[in-house]
Amino acid sequence: MTVKRTYERPVIKKLESNMPNKFGMRTIYEPVTHLEENAVKDLISEYGSPLFVISETKIRKNYSASRQAFETRYPRVQFAWSYKTNYLDAICNIYHQEGSWAEVVSGFEYDKAIRNGVNGSKIIFNGPDKSEEDLRKAVTNNSLIHIDHLDELYLLQDIARATKQRPKVAIRVNMDTGVFPMWDRFGFNYENGQAWDALNKIMFSGQMDLVGLHTHIGTFMLAPSAYAVAASKLAHLAQSVLTKYNHEIKYIDMGGGFASKNTLKGSYLPGSDISPSIDDFAEAITSALMNSDYRPKTPPLLIIESGRVLIDDAAWLLGTVLANKRLSDGRRSVILDVGVNILFTAFWYDHKITPAQAFTSYTEDTALYGPLCMNIDVVRENINMPMLNKGDQLVVHHVGAYNMTQWMQFITLRPKVVLIDEKFKVHVIRNNETLSILTDLEAVPSHLVDFEL
């Protein structure tokens, strides 16, 4: 039997005859035709294109690896799932099943966590935007409120007085950890004494229980040493509180921001090579805490609010080639049905993208564009890709973090999200949007209903 060979369009390639360089002559990579036993082709034919695919196995594996990294270095560790990273209910619940608490940054996220069944006392409420109503709810539920600014502190004081309840609070601390840019817009500064001042205000008020200290030094951090600096500064604050008030801080929340294996735009080497492992972050944080001066009777609980590093590589975005085009400068471009409206992280990362079917070793520098009629819709400005035909399928890697929360309904409707469970069975965990879902929210005044053209 003769196998029909796939058609590949012809390509003319300039012969590079200069000195050989260390990157070699050609790109060798494999197509990704299957995701955990499910063929990409089948997934797309069943659930449509584009399609987000998430692996439950990978999520649990990432979680247990991170937990192991911290628990083998520090006696008391607690993870809190960062809702903003991915707040699909199914995803959150996997983390909750694994033992994660919830970390939320808005009233909406707070309500979502409660709706998922998280006990109020295991919700950490972060962020600069907490309305009075949100705070009252959080106080009643015994949630852990991380105060971001003095106005919030005063508001909480009023609520405590009015409701005669004692809010469980921590303050968010920002500090110089030797990395640029320094995140000083959230929380109270360590170096200029704001943080100490806020702690004193809380202790003097006598109306709140100071239970923790929180910091979140940045995002996609590539330097574990910065966390060691942050941990020792928080430990110092905790020790100061212990010395002055004989009050033990119950937990130290190191936030998140650990880099995933994605490649940041402008980075010379791929993220898979340069991003520190979770073990490196764990080592930096725990050794700083273990070696700090803070020696209460029981060591404080170490809370990690990591999001990205736990989920980024557990999700893929499947897409289809809509058209091929040659640009004016002769570069090849390919239009995909995946755009920045659903792949928001394309603004930050050079995502790894692989074809979902076999190809030959011939490649061409290609620009990958999304389907939007907007100039900014660029998925990859320049990527070495084999010859793609209309209808070919692609897999975008490491899309688990932020895409399914920051995506927007713009020009097209948002696609389905499916989860491959540990037995490789596929479940739809978010349906695609339909016209009516959007139009149901709209109202047209009666005088605007009719028109004639």
Partner 1 sequence: MIAARLKYIFPYFWQSLSNSYTQIFFSKNKVLGLLLIFVSMFDLNAGFIGLLSVITSNVAAYLIGLNRQKVIDGLYGFNALLVGLGLGIYYQISLPFLVIVIFVSLLTLLLTNTLEGVLYKYGLPYLSLPFLFAIWIAMLSTRYFTQLEISQRGIYMLNEMYLLGGFPMVKVYDWFYTLSWPEAIKIYFRALGAIFFQYHLFAGLVIAIGLLYWSRLAFLYSVVGFSSAWVFYNFIGSGLNDLSYTYIGFNYILTAIAVGAFFVIPSAISFVWVMISIPLVAFLIASGNAVLGGYQLAIFSLPFNLVVIMFLYLFRLRERFHDKPSLVYLQQYSPEKNLYSFLVNKKRLPGLDKIQIKMPFMGKWKVTQGIEGTHTHKDVWKFAWDFEMTDDEGITFREKGLKVEDYYCFNKPVVAPADGYISEIMDGIEDNLIGDANLKHNWGNSVVMSHALGLFSQMSHLKRGSILVKSGQFVRKGEQVASCGNSGRSPYPHLHFQFQAAGEVGAATLNYPFSAFLTHNDETVFFSASQPVLNDFVSNNQIVDLLDLALHFVPGQMLHFSVDDEKESYHLSWKIETDIYNNTFIQCGESGAKAWFIRQPDIFYFTHYEGDKKSLLFDFYLGAYQLITGFVPGLKMKEHITLALYPNKFVLAIQDIIAPFYRFLNAEYCLEHTRFINDLSTPIIEMYAEVTFSMFGRLNEKRSFEMKFSENHMQSFIIRRGDTKIVLNRE
Determine if 36 is a binding residue for partner 1 (CB under 8 A).
Answer: no
Instruction: Please list every residue from 93 through 132 that binds partner 1, using CB under 8 A.
Output: 119, 121-122
Which CB, 34 or 73, lies closer to partner 1? 73
Determine if 61 is a binding residue for partner 1 (CB under 8 A).
Answer: yes
- Short-list 253, 360, 369, CA closest to 301: 253
Please state the closest distance from residue 242 (CB atom) to partner 1, in A: 16
Determine if 251 is a binding residue for partner 1 (CB under 8 A).
Answer: yes
- Short-list 126, 120, 124, CA closest to 80: 124
Q: How far is it, in rounded angstroms, from Cα 365 to Cα 384?
A: 5
Exactly one of 134, 148, 283, 312 binds partner 1 (CB under 8 A); that residue is 283
Exactly one of 38, 93, 142, 157 binds partner 1 (CB under 8 A); that residue is 142
Exactly one of 168, 172, 352, 398 binds partner 1 (CB under 8 A); that residue is 168
Beta bridge partners of 258: 221
Please state the closest distance from residue 1 (CB atom) to partner 1, in A: 39
Which CB, 176 or 209, lies closer to partner 1? 209
Q: Interacting stretch for partner 1, rule CB under 8 A, among 58-66, 109-117, 126-134, 374-382?
A: 58-66
Residue 143 contacts residue 184 (beta carbons within 8 Å): no
Which CB, 68 or 93, lies closer to partner 1? 68
Determine if 136 is a binding residue for partner 1 (CB under 8 A).
Answer: no
Structure-token pair, residue 16? 């590079």
Please state the closest distance from residue 306 (CB atom) to partner 1, in A: 17
Q: How far is it, in rounded angstroms, from Cα 55 to Cα 398?
A: 11
Q: Interacting stretch for partner 1, rule CB under 8 A, among 61-69, 308-316, 351-359, 413-421?
A: 61-69
Residue 137 contacts residue 112 (beta carbons within 8 Å): no
Q: How far is it, in rounded angstroms, from Cα 401 to Cα 82?
A: 10
Determine if 305 is a binding residue for partner 1 (CB under 8 A).
Answer: no
Q: HSE-up of 55 (CA within 13 Å, CB side)?
A: 24
The long-range contacts involving 295-298, CB below 8 angstroms and separated by at least 24 positions, are 296/238, 296/242, 296/248, 296/249, 297/248, 298/76, 298/248
Determine if 267 is a binding residue for partner 1 (CB under 8 A).
Answer: no
Exactly one of 135, 159, 211, 396 binds partner 1 (CB under 8 A); that residue is 211
Determine if 298 is a binding residue for partner 1 (CB under 8 A).
Answer: yes
- What is the gyration radius of the CA atoms in the chain, in angstroms? 25
Determine if 71 is a binding residue for partner 1 (CB under 8 A).
Answer: yes
- Short-list 84, 90, 86, 80, CA closest to 56: 90
Determine if 163 is a binding residue for partner 1 (CB under 8 A).
Answer: no
Determine if 149 is a binding residue for partner 1 (CB under 8 A).
Answer: no
- Binding-site size for partner 1 (CB under 8 A) equals 28
Q: Which residues bind partner 1 (CB under 8 A)?
A: 60-61, 64-65, 68, 71-76, 119, 121-122, 142, 144, 168, 209, 211-212, 250-251, 283, 286-287, 290, 298, 301
